[in-house]
């Protein structure tokens, strides 16, 4: 399945990918958007400095989140991306309980927020927003 992967050795922690993700999805996320990209603080083993790194949904082939959702708030598209369907989310959080990677999160309205791989951009032959802005080349779309 296609998903965005992060080479943590190349990641500088600039969070430009998080900003690009927010800009790409802002309208769909409402007034108080939560980025679908997850950013985590870490200590660089090389320098000892505290920095950030990002990760996102792996769009798993078996996708336990997809089968756990009783409301149809997650669907798989023809490219293999597991897409959130915000209007169907009832906030039960079963997807979060089922995901072994801790990806599904919930905004202030209790609605699911997760990476959609910028599936609409990818379908048009474009890179996901986060990959497009990664100056370090740490992010790439993988199959």
Query: What is the reported pLDDT for 68?
Result: 97
What pLDDT digit, counting tens, does each position of 2-19 carry? 789 888 888 888 899 999
Query: What is the reported pLDDT for 130?
Result: 95
Query: What is the reported pLDDT for 126?
Result: 94
What is the mean predicted confidence (pLDDT) over 108-120?
91
The pair of structure tokens assigned to 88 is 């169907």
What is the mean predicted confidence (pLDDT) over 47-74?
91
Domains assigned to the chain: 3-142 (3.30.70.20)
Output the pTM of the full model. 0.84
What pLDDT digit, counting tens, does each position of 82-96 carry? 999 989 999 999 999
Contacts from 139-143 at CB under 8 Å and sequence distance 24+? 139/4, 139/5, 139/6, 139/7, 139/11, 139/17, 139/54, 140/4, 140/5, 140/7, 141/2, 141/3, 141/4, 141/117, 142/2, 142/3, 142/4, 142/5, 143/1, 143/2
Please state, rounded to an integer, the average pLDDT across all residues of the chain.
89
Which range, 73-77, 103-107, 117-121, is most confident? Answer: 73-77
């Amino acid at each position: 399945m296609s998903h965005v992967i992060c080479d943590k050795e190349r990641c500088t922690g600039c969070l430009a990918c998080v900003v690009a993700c927010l800009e790409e999805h802002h309208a769909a996320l409402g007034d108080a958007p939560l980025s679908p990209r997850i950013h985590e603080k870490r200590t660089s083993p090389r320098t000892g400095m505290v920095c950030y790194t990002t990760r996102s949904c792996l769009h798993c082939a078996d996708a336990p989140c997809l089968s756990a959702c009783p409301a149809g708030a997650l669907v798989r598209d023809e490219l293999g991306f597991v897409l959130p369907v915000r209007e169907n989310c009832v906030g039960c959080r079963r997807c979060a309980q089922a995901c072994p990677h801790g990806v599904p999160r919930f905004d202030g309205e209790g609605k699911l927020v997760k990476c959609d791989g910028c599936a609409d951009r990818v379908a048009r032959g474009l890179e996901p927003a986060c990959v497009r802005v990664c100056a370090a080349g740490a992010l790439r779309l993988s199959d």
